[in-house]
Amino acid sequence: MINLSWQAPASLAIILFALGLIGLITRRNLIFVILSIEVMLNAVALLFIVAGMRWGHPDGQVMFIFILNLAGGELALGLVLLLRLRARITTLDGDSANILRES
């Protein structure tokens, strides 16, 4: 049967999280920003699954469901904001969306 220890999938989750973080910090396009956030959420969700597997408890999957919930809500709002921003500044460059600044 399986002799997979929990460290390997945990490492996978951390790698995915790190990739998402890199994307979040380096990418300017807001689509990629949201995408990176989704990647990070996904990685965290995976880590919860791993924890659930490690202790053999359904709580890991429960948390996974909550994270899906959160990701859905976050994405819906994020995409609407993206559309509004696109209508306002005609670009999706996150760095140029700083017109809130006073001077």
Partner 1 sequence: MTYSMFDVVFYGAGAFSVVTTTLAITRTNPVYALLNFVMSILGIALVIFVLGAPFAASLEVIVYAGAVVVLFLFVVMMLNLAHLKTDFGVKRGRSVRLAVPGVLVISIIIEIGIAFSGRFGKETTYHIIGPSAVGRQLLVADIIPIELGSMLLLAALLGAFHLARLSPERGRQ
Partner 2 sequence: MGNIIWIIPAAPLIGSILLGLFGARWSNRWSGFIGTLSIVISALLSVAIAVHWFQDPPVDEHMRIMLWRWISLPEYSSYIEFYLDPVSLIMMLVISVIGLLIHIFSTEYMAGEAGYSRFFAYLNLFVASMLLLVLANDLLVLFVGWEGVGVCSYLLVGFWFHKAANGYAARKSFVVTRIADVAMLVGILLLSNALGTVSIQPMLAKAALLWPHGGIMAAAGAALLLIGGLGKSAQFPFQTWLPDAMAGPTPVSALIHAATMVTAGMYLVIRLYPLFALVPSVLTVIAVGAVITILTASLTALVQRDIKRVLAYSTVAQIGYMFLALGVGAWSAAMFHFLTHAVFKALLFLSAGAIAMRLHHEQDIFRMGGLRQKLSVVFWAFLIGSASLAALPVVSAGAFSKEMILASLWESPGLGKWLWLAALFGAVLTATYIFRVVFLVFFGEVKTEPTGHYGVRIVVPLVLLAIAASTIGWLEMPKFMASSSVFSSFLEPVLGHPATESTLPHWVTAAGYIAPLLGVVIGFGLYRSGYWVRTAGPVGQGNDGGQAERSMGEGVRRFMRAGFGFDFLYDRLLVQPFLWLVKILRNDPIDAIFMSAAAAAMRFHGALRRSQIGQLRRYAGMLALGSMAVIVIMVFA
| Segment 80 to 99, residues that bind partner 2, using CB under 8 A | 94-95, 97-99
Please give the Cα distance from 99 to 90 (Å, whole number).
Answer: 13
Please give the Cα distance from 89 to 103 (Å, whole number).
Answer: 18
99 DSSP 8-state letter: T
57 exposed, middle or buried (CB, 10 Å; 0-12, 13-18, 19+)? exposed
Tell whether residue 41 is a contact of partner 2 (CB under 8 A): no
Residue 1 CB, shortest distance to partner 2, in Å, is 33
Among 3, 26, 56, 87, binds partner 2 (CB under 8 A): 26
Q: Which stretch binds partner 2 (CB under 8 A): 1-9, 26-34, 43-51, 80-88?
A: 26-34
Binding site residues, partner 2, CB under 8 A: 21, 24-28, 30, 33, 94-95, 97-102
